């Protein structure tokens, strides 16, 4: 079980710090801002080995240039399709990153939809999936098609249920409020709400989220399930395909 810490950046983003076998050396996922990362490194007397980038949006990459000026020799991994300045290693679907200070390889999954080059990093049971899947939510479809996003979500759904979702934003409570309008009788969803309220009141992250739980409470993973499908129909959905249902659900969330 790797040690992974959340570093809050900007308003509601998380950068993730993966501590290696030598726990004083870390890898950062999605440095949206440099300062909180530099503070984390200094406060804990750590060295930065590498940066992993899930997609090109500024709130996930804004700290890259400043971190590079402090640590010019670090490796930076990202998708070629997303063209992020500073990348030293372009990576794609099914490739594997091997870092000497980690106990296991990192597997790359292409998960386009939010952006065309969006990727996820799977390290042991930890999935860093940026803005594709959130706890009880899903990212906006900015660059890809609904078909691409659906395939990306299916790919995540099919990972082992003990996978832990390390996503890019603290959106969980707002996502739960939306989910409850569609799935009001879901007791596991109500339970997650009280759990998240407690964490947030203590200023703690609601993440990572367990995939097994997400499969039971996240409406974007349950478009084909009866309570969600009938709620969508009540709100005007007339389609007959899971991709259309996912898109309708995302559009409902956009208006919520
Ligand atoms: Zn994004």
Mean pLDDT, range 94-121, rounded to an integer: 97
The reply to whether 200 falls in a domain is no
Active site (annotated) includes residue 114? yes
- Provide the phi-psi class of 89: left if phi over 0, else alpha when psi is between -120 and 50, else beta: beta
Of the candidates 30, 60, 82, 118, the residue annotated as catalytic is: 60
Instruction: Give 204: exposed, middle or buried? Use CB within 10 Å, 0-12, 13-18, 19+.
Output: exposed
The reply to whether 140 falls in a domain is yes
Mean pLDDT of the chain: 96
Tell me the C-alpha distance between 248 and 196, whole Å.
26
pTM of the model: 0.97
Of the candidates 19, 49, 56, 57, the residue annotated as catalytic is: 57
* 2 pLDDT more than 80: no
Contacts of 224 (CB under 8 A, 6+ apart): 242, 245
Of the candidates 19, 56, 118, 169, the residue annotated as catalytic is: 169
Using the mean position of ligand 1's atoms as its centre, give its distance from the Cα of residue 97 in Å: 23
The reply to whether 141 falls in a domain is yes
Active site (annotated) includes residue 70? no
Q: Which residue from 18, 8, 10, 73 is spatially nearest to 46, judged by alpha carbons?
A: 18
CA-based R_g, the chain, Å: 18
The reply to whether 176 falls in a domain is no
Residue-range definition of the domain harbouring residue 51: 3-170+206-215
pLDDT value at residue 30: 98
Active site (annotated) includes residue 55? yes
* 183 pLDDT more than 60: yes
Percent of the chain with pLDDT over 70: 99
Mean pLDDT, range 17-41, rounded to an integer: 97
The reply to whether 61 falls in a domain is yes
Using the mean position of ligand 1's atoms as its centre, give its distance from the Cα of residue 21 in Å: 30
Confidence of residue 1 (pLDDT cuts 50, 70, 90): very low
Over the stretch 190-246, which tens digit does the pLDDT of each residue have?
A: 999 999 999 999 999 999 999 999 999 999 999 989 999 999 999 999 998 999 999
pLDDT value at residue 56: 97
Active site (annotated) includes residue 107? no
Over the stretch 50-91, which tens digit does the pLDDT of each residue have?
A: 999 999 999 999 999 999 999 999 999 999 998 899 999 999
The reply to whether 32 falls in a domain is yes
Using the mean position of ligand 1's atoms as its centre, give its distance from the Cα of residue 131 in Å: 5
Tell me the C-alpha distance between 197 and 206, whole Å.
9
The reply to whether 183 falls in a domain is no
The reply to whether 18 falls in a domain is yes
Residue 155 belongs to a domain with what CATH number? 3.60.15.10
Q: How many domains does the chain have?
A: 1
pLDDT value at residue 83: 85
Q: What does the DSSP assignment read for 149-169? A: HHHHHHHHHTS-TT-EEEESB
Over the stretch 131-141, which tens digit does the pLDDT of each residue have?
A: 999 999 999 99
């Amino acid at each position: 079980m790797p040690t992974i810490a959340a570093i809050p950046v900007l308003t509601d983003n998380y950068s993730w710090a993966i501590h290696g076998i030598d726990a004083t050396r870390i890898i950062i996922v999605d440095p949206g801002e440099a300062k909180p990362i530099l503070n984390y490194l200094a406060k804990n007397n750590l060295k930065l080995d590498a940066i992993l980038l899930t997609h090109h949006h500024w709130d996930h990459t804004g700290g890259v240039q400043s971190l590079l000026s402090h640590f010019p020799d670090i490796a930076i991994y990202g998708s070629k399709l997303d063209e992020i300045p500073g990348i030293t290693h372009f990576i794609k679907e099914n490739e594997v990153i091997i870092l000497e200070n980690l106990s296991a390889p990192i597997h790359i999954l292409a998960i386009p939809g939010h952006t065309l080059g969006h990727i996820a990093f799977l390290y042991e049971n930890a999935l860093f999936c940026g803005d594709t899947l959130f706890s009880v939510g899903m990212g906006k479809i900015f660059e890809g098609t609904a078909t691409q996003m659906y395939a990306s979500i299916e790919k995540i759904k099919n990972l082992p249920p003990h996978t832990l979702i390390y996503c890019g934003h603290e959106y969980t409570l707002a996502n739960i409020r939306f989910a409850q309008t569609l799935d009001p009788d879901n007791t596991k969803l109500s339970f997650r709400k009280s759990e998240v309220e407690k964490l947030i009141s203590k200023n703690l992250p609601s993440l990572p989220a367990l995939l097994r739980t997400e499969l039971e409470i996240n409406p974007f993973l349950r478009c084909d399930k009866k309570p969600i499908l009938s709620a969508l129909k009540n709100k005007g959905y007339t389609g007959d395909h899971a991709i259309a249902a996912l898109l309708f659900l995302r559009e409902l969330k956009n208006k919520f």
